[in-house]
Amino acid sequence: MKERDYRQYKGVWALGEVRDGEIHPVSFELLAWGRGLADKLSVDLSIVIIGSHIKDKVKELIPRGADKVYVIDHPALEHFRIDPFSAILTTMVEEYKPEILIASATSMGRTIMPVMAVKLDAGLTADCTGLDIDLEERLLIQTRPAVGGNIMATIKTPVLRPQMSTVRPKSKRPLPVDHSRKGEILVKEFSGEFLTSRVKRLAFIREEAIGAPIQDAEYIVAFGKGLKDSKHVELMKELAQVFNGSLGASRNATDLGWISYSHQVGLSGKTVSPRLYIAAGISGAVQHLAGMSSAEIIIAINSDPDANIFGVADYGIVGDLFEVIPLLIKKLKEKAKEA
Ligand SMILES: Cc1cc2nc3c(=O)[nH]c(=O)nc-3n(C[C@H](O)[C@H](O)[C@H](O)COP(=O)(O)OP(=O)(O)OC[C@H]3O[C@@H](n4cnc5c(N)ncnc54)[C@H](O)[C@@H]3O)c2cc1C
């Protein structure tokens, strides 16, 4: 391990993301996390954006909290590939020496940050749900669930730099847009071997889904093992469609193969924070709650009045989901017709 003189390392950096040519909202969430850290440390907050044809798009990052935006814009960087992205970012971190580097725990963040940690010989705390600063020691406090979600671990990186973390998408709301904020946009050029990759992108095949991806959904209808059989997923789809919502599931439901893993909510699935979360036939294990308890309104439907899920629910319906859900669909459809 390379111990570094950490007085040389200054500033908070976030790694933004581009999807389909647009700045992805996780970049704004990272800026909200980073702004809090940078203000406590009295340093700049910078964001790095790597992509193609994005120079015009990056302006929106300053009103969202960035002091500096580093842009690397090249057609070869249209899609995330580990070789060029990690080579560029490693070089920049070695040049500018930020004390903290955060990324989102998306597929990109989860892929690039471990590679970067090895390249930089630094520590990484993955999948954090909270970040703060210990001002006395000037250290990043990284909080994440551990031991199967039963405890929250607080992790510090006292020796290595930068201190690196990935944070769960949706674990913080973006800051309100503030057009009076001032900042700098710095374009960095990379060429030659920085742009080469051992990976060739052949195609992108989007999974057929009901509604938006759950991490972006405003309404989620989720089911667990109480659904009893994959054939009943149709019933849940019908309810989701009434809301124009998305389907979520417990790990038991995904493990049984009733729906794909991308719908799993919880510690080893996705974190969601929709306006409405309906949990049907889900017991409410701590690992499930870790992914959904920040939903604005939670409605639980469970035949067991002692089910744990009722502890986090705003509204609880004790009953058989096969009776409750058809009634709910009927009522909602009637309401929709009246409107
Ligand atoms: C390291 C680790 C990570 C994990 N990650 C996750 C995760 O990301 N997400 C996750 O969900 N779990 C996760 N788990 C698993 C978790 O501990 C639970 O086992 C799981 O959430 C239970 O799923 P369930 O609620 O569908 O099933 P069960 O616990 O079996 O609950 C089924 C519920 O359905 C109710 N029910 C039955 N019939 C009906 C009916 N007709 N009408 C209404 N209600 C009915 C029952 O009363 C019961 O409460 C993880 C576990 C570990 C150890």
Ligand 1 shell residues, CB under 6 Å? 148, 224-226, 250-253, 264-269, 281-283, 285, 287-288, 291, 301-304, 307, 320-322
- How close is the Cα of 89 to the center of ligand 1, in Å? 40
Residues 6 or more apart whose Cβ sits within 8 Å of residue 114: 124, 126
Alpha carbon distance, N-terminus to C-terminus of the chain: 65
CATH superfamily for 214-338 is TPP-binding domain (3.40.50.1220)
Question: Would you list the domain boundaries of the chain?
Answer: 6-195, 214-338
Predicted local distance difference test score (pLDDT) of residue 3: 57
Which residue do the tokens 């980073």 mark?
Answer: 34
Question: How far, in Å, is the centroid of ligand 1 from the Cα of 228?
Answer: 12
12 and 102 in contact (C-beta within 8 Å)?
A: yes
Q: What is the pLDDT of residue 117?
A: 97
Confidence at residue 170, expressed as pLDDT on a 0 to 100 scale:
83
- DSSP of 46-70: EEEEEESS-TTTGGGGTTTT-SEEE
The DSSP secondary-structure symbol of 171 reads S
pLDDT, tens digit (0-9, with 9 covering 90-100), for 209-232: 667 889 889 999 999 999 999 999
Q: How far from the centroid of its chain's Cα atoms is residue 306's Cα?
A: 31
Is residue 254 helix, strand or coil? helix
Determine the Cα angle at 322 with ends 316 and 325, to 5°.
55
Q: What predicted TM-score, i.e. pTM, was given to this entire model? A: 0.71
| Ranges of residues in the chain whose predicted pLDDT is under 70 | 1-4, 148-149, 208-210
CB atoms under 10 Å from CB of 120, counted, come to: 21
Which pLDDT score is estimated for 213? 86
Ligand 1 center–CA 333 separation, angstroms: 29
CA of 147 to the centre of ligand 1 (A): 18
Q: Report residue 252 as tokens.
A: 């038991």
pLDDT at position 209 is 67
Q: 319 with 301: CB under 8 angstroms? A: yes
* DSSP E strands, the chain: 12-15, 18-19, 22-23, 45-51, 68-73, 100-104, 124-128, 130-134, 139-146, 151-155, 163-167, 184-187, 219-223, 246-249, 276-280, 297-302, 315-318
pLDDT of residue 115: 97
- Among 29, 16, 290, smallest CA distance to 172 is for 29
**What is the DSSP secondary structure assignment for residue 314, as one 8-state letter?**
S
CA 261 / ligand 1 centre spacing (Å): 14
The reply to whether 6-195 and 214-338 are identical in fold is: yes
Please report where in the chains the tokens 């057609």 appear, as a residue. Answer: 75
For residue 288, report the distance from its CA to the centre of ligand 1, in Å.
Answer: 7
- Mind listing the pLDDT tens digit for each residue in 16-46? 999 999 999 999 999 999 999 999 999 999 9
Query: Measuring from atom 23 of ligand 1, which residue has the nearest CA?
Result: 252
Distance in Å, CA 126 to ligand 1 centroid: 24
Length of the chain: 339
Residue identifier of the C-alpha nearest atom 48 of ligand 1: 283
> 78: which 2 tokens?
């249209």
Q: Which of 283, 299, 324 gets mutated to test ligand 1 (max ligand atoms within 8 A of its CB)?
A: 283
Contact 140, 100 (CB under 8 A): yes
**Mutation choice for ligand 1 from 251, 289, 302, CB with most ligand atoms inside 8 A:** 251
pLDDT at position 212, please?
A: 80
pLDDT for position 148: 63
Place of tokens 């986090």: 312
Q: What fold does the segment set 6-195 form as a domain?
A: Rossmann fold (3.40.50)
